[in-house]
């Protein structure tokens, strides 16, 4: 984020616009809408400027003459929009020296703030900016948002403002107030307000306020965050994530997914890696229970699906025993997501009629796998967490399971992200190929004839120049998580 989005209170404050052409006049009109007293500093005035001066004589004034730094005295905000690049630069430099917020039209490098495109619905204001890079794109997005938000939302915001003090008096804790408003805005009162029935909407909100419990019970949302690409989240996962008070996440959850939560939500990193646990599983479960019993809504984000090698059941056992409410949101498990992004169908009428998911974890250096059950050549095998055991997996399949050494196999690293890599070969060659390519974790291994489909069906082209959707653990919350647990 290059610019901090803020809303500045300008009612009754002095604003200076240097220039009086069409662009300067549009900027002045925007300042007037925000309640500022505007001075137009220019040696000559365009027709648009003259018209604005006539229409709002009490709020905007003429300040004839060329620019000099003395006109910055007692000014709260400055906009420069002249045809002279040197004048615009001088205005910017003088404002920086005086710590006055300044915007120079179409020159973002000279701005200490930028003016976004605005969607306004009464007190409800939505600002859209691109840091000055793509103003046309910003205008297109503004038009889309304008079409999606009815004018009734402004009336609803006014109504919420009238009831705000009463809601604050009713609920002591901010989490309880937030939960009330979320229920109210998702309920009948909103529909009444959007239909223009404001009296009925207000009566409904007042009734809901009178009936509401003064405390809100906590709850845990066990959310499958998918294999990395944030676009693979379900609508329900996104909705619950954005209403959570606390987010607890591990190493396999991408930063893009974590950042979809509300900015003010607490975040706890409890990442687990093979043989190295930031927070032990028992402490994670206890943390979830404690946070919920404090009345917080807790989003527990797990990579992939929480019930497929995600220890989701272990965490729910603790929550159920403690009487904590919870919901489970399935996610796209790594096998489905990584195989799809690699062009490998897990089942195929010509190659595989079933698929089996297997953990590739070793126990005391030994794979705990029932190899005798893995000898069907028409079954696709998917090994989770098996990178370190890849050689042993290939040997076990060729040995006890009696799979042919020529059986196609592939290993997918960082699937569904911009760091995705696929190395394909056979049971005879894959371990050596993966070692030579330096394949790391997280990785998924697919064995069976379908693995050969990657060569002709691969469609996902990772953008090597883009930021990876699969992050390293975020360092900030780790200490907080460990101490909080």
Q: Which residues participate in catalysis according to the annotation?
A: 250, 272
DSSP structure class, residue 77: E
- The helix/strand count (H/E) of the chain reads as 17, 21
Mark 285-319 as b/e (b = at least 16 C-beta within 10 Å): bbbbbbbbeebbbbbbbbbbbbbbbbebeebbebb
Residues 204, 205, 207, CA angle at the centre, nearest 5°? 65
DSSP structure class, residue 143: H
Question: Which stretches within 399-470 are classed as H helix?
Answer: 430-437, 454-457
Tell me the pairing of strands 443-447 and 408-413.
antiparallel
Residue 219 and residue 326 in contact, taking contact as beta carbons nearer than 8 Å: yes
Question: Which stretches within 366-444 are classed as H helix?
Answer: 390-398, 430-437
Q: Which residues are CB-contacts of 236 (< 8 A; sequence separation ≥ 6)?
A: 329
The two structure tokens encoding residue 38: 């505007």
312 vs 288: CA distance, rounded Å: 12
Long-range contacts formed by 1-10: CB under 8 A, 24+ apart? 2/131, 3/113, 3/114, 3/129, 3/131, 5/116, 5/127, 5/129, 7/125, 7/127, 8/34, 8/77, 8/101, 10/34, 10/35, 10/36, 10/76, 10/77
Rounded to a whole number of angstroms, the distance between the first and last alpha carbons of the chain is 31
Q: At which residue do the structure tokens 């040696």 appear? A: 43
């Amino acid at each position: 984020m290059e610019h901090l989005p803020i809303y500045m209170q300008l009612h009754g404050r002095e604003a200076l616009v240097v220039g009086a052409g069409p662009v300067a006049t549009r900027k002045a009109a925007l300042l007037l809408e925000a309640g500022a007293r505007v001075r137009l500093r220019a040696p000559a005035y365009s027709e648009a400027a003259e018209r604005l001066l006539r229409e709002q004589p009490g709020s905007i004034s003429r300040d004839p003459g060329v620019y000099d730094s003395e006109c910055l005295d007692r000014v709260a905000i400055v906009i420069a929009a002249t045809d002279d690049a040197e004048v615009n630069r001088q205005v910017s430099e003088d404002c920086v020296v005086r710590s006055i917020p300044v915007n120079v039209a179409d020159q973002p490098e000279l701005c200490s703030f930028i003016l976004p495109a605005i969607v306004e619905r009464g007190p409800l204001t939505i600002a859209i900016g691109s840091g000055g890079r793509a103003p046309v794109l910003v205008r297109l997005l503004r038009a889309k948002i304008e079409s999606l938000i009815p004018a009734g939302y402004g009336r609803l915001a006014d109504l919420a403002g009238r009831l705000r003090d009463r809601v604050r008096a009713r609920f002591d804790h901010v989490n309880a107030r937030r939960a009330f408003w979320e229920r109210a805005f998702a309920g009948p009162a909103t529909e009444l307000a959007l239909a223009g029935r404001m009296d009925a909407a207000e009566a409904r909100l007042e009734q809901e306020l009178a009936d509401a419990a003064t405390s809100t019970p906590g709850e845990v949302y066990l959310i499958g965050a998918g294999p990395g690409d944030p676009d693979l989240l379900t609508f329900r996962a996104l909705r619950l994530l954005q209403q959570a008070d606390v987010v607890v996440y591990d190493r396999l959850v991408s930063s893009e997914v974590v950042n979809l939560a509300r900015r003010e939500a607490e975040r706890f990193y409890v990442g687990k890696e093979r043989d190295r646990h930031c927070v032990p599983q028992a402490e994670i479960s206890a943390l979830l229970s404690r946070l919920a019993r404090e009345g917080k809504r807790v989003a527990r984000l797990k990579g992939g699906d929480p019930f497929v090698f995600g220890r989701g059941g272990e965490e729910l056992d603790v929550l159920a025993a403690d009487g904590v409410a919870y919901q489970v949101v399935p996610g796209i498990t790594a096998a489905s997501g990584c195989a799809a992004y690699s062009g490998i169908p897990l089942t195929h009428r010509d190659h595989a009629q079933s698929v089996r998911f297997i953990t590739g974890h070793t126990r005391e250096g030994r794979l705990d796998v029932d190899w005798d059950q893995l000898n069907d050549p028409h079954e696709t095998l998917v090994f989770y967490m098996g990178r370190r055991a890849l050689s042993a997996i290939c040997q076990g399949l060729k040995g006890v399971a009696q799979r042919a050494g020529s059986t196609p196999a592939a290993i997918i690293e960082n699937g569904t992200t911009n760091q995705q890599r696929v190395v394909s070969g056979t049971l005879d060659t894959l371990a050596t190929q993966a070692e030579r390519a330096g394949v790391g974790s997280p990785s998924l291994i697919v064995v069976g004839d379908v693995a050969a489909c990657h060569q002709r069906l691969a469609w996902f082209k990772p953008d090597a120049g883009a930021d990876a959707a699969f992050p390293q653990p975020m360092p900030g919350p780790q200490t907080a998580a460990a101490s909080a647990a």
